[in-house]
């Protein structure tokens, strides 16, 4: 062969000889076939992979791992938590259908439901999920799905999943839960009868703030439909992102144990601070801990800008769940798109701070927050 031909065919392939302990990264857009019969075999279900948008060993490894941890039948990985939620919803919902959702959701999810699903002709109603009558009052003849979060964002209400599933079965609805904050380490919604479970794998599943990824798991028939939506909408995730997420997933139990323990200690400490108006943290609701997020509302005595400027090694980020302790500002980030009326109704104001608690020594975490609060107290108040 001429040089130009040789250099284009330098790939080294010995798949059956080199057995790697870790799954290799299948960083390829397409998969090769030896002849047309083998190509046709893909469409007949005899082989798994054709084109990475349609499936890849790395993304399938991640989806299978999360499905197994959630005790779900099947799963599919996606490009983000939002695309996982969308794929799950579109596995059920079509134009003319109606969805009932909890009113206290992540702002990005509300934007998806209100701003985008309506473009598909899907109607959404929000209910107070602490009130069973409020949920029932939203039901219509065209209602097809009920949706909430296992631990809500940002006020950390632990959902009554048993009640939600009971209502779903009564009205013949598909139930769907975002389990990002809890992870299967703390809660397995499938055990309660939930049909679909979504994760922003960007958060605790990956755990190191270096991927953007989602996973939806659940009933095999619904996941088969969700997979079609992922392929059709181009919501697939790259092999490398999938590989990184699987690597992070291996330490989920260790991270969640430490971060959840730290969060409880921080919440208890801040509850004793005179200028912390309110601490939002579940009150020993879940058997293995109540999560690694703490939300606080500072009193009017605290200058919020000075508080953020005084946090030192604790950084401001618009996300959560890395191994480092970070803070975010819901009114300016996660719930920015909500109207002022909706923000006020949910209790999101300029003094609400969401804390993602990391794996550092708890004494250092508490000391840094107390220092920032003390430094930012406005004595004139």
Tell me the domain boundaries of the chain. Answer: 56-249, 252-375
Q: Please give the pLDDT value at position 234.
A: 97
Average pLDDT of every residue of the chain = 94
pLDDT tens for 143-169 read: 999 999 999 999 999 999 999 999 999
Q: Could you say which of 188, 203, 219, 229 is catalytic?
A: 203
pLDDT tens for 184-218 read: 999 999 999 999 999 999 999 999 999 999 999 99
As a whole number, mean pLDDT of residues 339-363 equals 92
Q: Which phi and psi (to 5°) does residue 155 adopt? A: -95, 5
The DSSP annotation for 166-230 comes to HHHHHTT-EEEEE-TTTHHHH--GGGGT-SEEEEETTTTTT-SS----EEEEE-HHHHHHHHHHH
pLDDT range class, residue 333, cuts 50, 70, 90: confident
Greater confidence (80 vs 340) lies with: 80
Which CATH code is given to the segment(s) 252-375? Answer: 3.90.1150.10
Q: Please give the pLDDT value at position 368.
A: 98
Q: Please give the pLDDT value at position 5.
A: 77
Q: Please give the pLDDT value at position 381.
A: 47
Q: Please give the pLDDT value at position 337.
A: 80
Q: Could you say which of 26, 104, 106, 204 is catalytic?
A: 106
Q: Please give the pLDDT value at position 209.
A: 97
Judged against a pLDDT cut of 90, whether residue 343 lies above it is answered with no
How many angstroms separate the CA atoms of 45 and 59, rounded? 18
How many angstroms separate the CA atoms of 14 and 37, rounded? 23
Q: Which phi and psi (to 5°) does residue 94 adopt? A: -140, 175
Is 203 marked active-site?
yes
Q: Please give the pLDDT value at position 291.
A: 97
How much of the chain, in percent, has pLDDT values that exceed 70?
A: 96
Contacts 24+ apart (CB under 8 A), 131-139: 132/163, 132/167, 135/100, 135/164, 135/167, 136/167, 138/100, 139/100, 139/171
Judged against a pLDDT cut of 80, whether residue 134 lies above it is answered with yes
Q: Which residue has the tokens 């695309």?
A: 83
Q: Could you say which of 97, 104, 178, 290 is catalytic?
A: 178
Q: Which phi and psi (to 5°) does residue 199 adopt? A: -135, 140
Residue 154, preceding peptide bond in cis (omega within 30° of 0): yes
Judged against a pLDDT cut of 50, whether residue 246 lies above it is answered with yes
Q: Would you say 242 and 75 are in contact if contact means Cβ atoms under 8 Å apart?
A: no
* Helices H / strands E in the chain, number of each: 14, 12
Whole-structure pTM value: 0.94
pLDDT range class, residue 265, cuts 50, 70, 90: very high
Q: Which residue has the tokens 């870790």?
A: 22
Judged against a pLDDT cut of 80, whether residue 96 lies above it is answered with yes
Give Cα 230 distance to the centre of its chain.
17
- Hey, which CATH number is domain 56-249, 3.40.50.620, 1.10.600.10, 3.30.930.10, 3.40.640.10? 3.40.640.10
User: 278: exposed, middle or buried (C-beta count within 10 Å: 0-12, 13-18, 19+)?
Assistant: middle
């Amino acid at each position: 062969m001429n040089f130009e031909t040789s250099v284009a065919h330098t790939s080294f392939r010995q798949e059956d000889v080199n057995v790697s302990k870790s799954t290799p990264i299948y960083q390829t857009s397409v998969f090769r076939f030896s002849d047309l019969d083998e190509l046709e075999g893909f469409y007949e279900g005899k082989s798994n992979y054709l084109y990475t948008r349609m499936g890849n060993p790395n993304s399938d490894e991640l989806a299978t791992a999360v499905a197994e941890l959630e005790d779900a039948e099947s799963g599919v990985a996606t490009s983000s938590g939002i695309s996982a939620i969308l794929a799950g919803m579109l596995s059920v919902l079509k134009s003319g259908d109606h969805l009932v959702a909890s009113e206290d959701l992540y702002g990005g999810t509300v934007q998806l439901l209100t701003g985008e699903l309506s473009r598909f002709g899907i109607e959404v109603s929000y209910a107070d999920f602490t009130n069973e009558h409020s949920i029932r009052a939203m039901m219509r003849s065209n209602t097809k799905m009920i949706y909430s979060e296992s631990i809500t964002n940002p006020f950390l209400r632990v959902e009554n999943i048993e009640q939600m599933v009971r209502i779903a079965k009564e009205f013949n609805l598909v139930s769907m839960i975002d389990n990002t904050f809890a992870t299967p380490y703390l809660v397995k919604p499938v055990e309660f009868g939930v049909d679909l479970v979504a994760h922003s794998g960007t958060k605790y599943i990956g755990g190191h703030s270096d991927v953007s990824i989602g996973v939806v798991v659940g009933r095999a028939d619904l996941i088969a439909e969700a997979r079609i939506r992922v392929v059709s909408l181009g919501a697939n995730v790259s092999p490398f992102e999938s590989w990184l997420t699987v690597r992070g997933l291996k330490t989920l139990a260790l991270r969640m144990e430490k971060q959840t323990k730290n969060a409880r200690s921080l919440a208890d400490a801040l509850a004793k601070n005179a200028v912390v108006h309110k601490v939002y943290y579940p009150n020993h609701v879940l058997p293995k801990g109540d999560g690694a997020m703490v939300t606080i509302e500072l009193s009017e005595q605290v200058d919020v800008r000075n508080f953020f400027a005084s946090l030192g090694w604790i950084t401001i980020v618009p996300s959560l769940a890395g191994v480092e302790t970070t803070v975010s500002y819901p009114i300016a980030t996660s719930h920015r798109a909500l109207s002022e009326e909706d923000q006020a109704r949910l209790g999101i104001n300029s003094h609400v701070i969401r804390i993602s608690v990391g794996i550092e020594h708890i004494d250092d975490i508490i000391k840094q927050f107390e220092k920032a609060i003390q430094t930012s107290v406005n004595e004139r108040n």
